[in-house]
Amino acid sequence: MSESLKPCPFCGGKAIVSFDPDGTKDTKGRKWAYTVLCNNCCATSGLCWSSDMAMVAWNRRENDGKID
């Protein structure tokens, strides 16, 4: 995925994609082991089964697509 990670929505810190090699596989064989983590306040995207999915979850914001 060419999309970059947005800053943390809580503290503005830098975020990274993290992989847990001990992640759990679901019934479809997908390994839920990816998350995006803020290096400053430890906010996370929650577990995802791919790095792309974690990045999309992290970059989504409540006001996406809305006009103020």
Query: How confident is the prediction along the chain (68 residues), in pLDDT tens digits per residue?
Result: 446 999 999 999 999 999 999 999 999 999 999 999 999 999 999 999 999 999 999 999 888 776 66
Global model pTM greater than 0.85? no
**What per-residue confidence (pLDDT) applies to 68?**
61
Q: How far is it, in rounded angstroms, from Cα 53 to Cα 64? A: 17
**What per-residue confidence (pLDDT) applies to 67?**
66
**What per-residue confidence (pLDDT) applies to 44?**
95
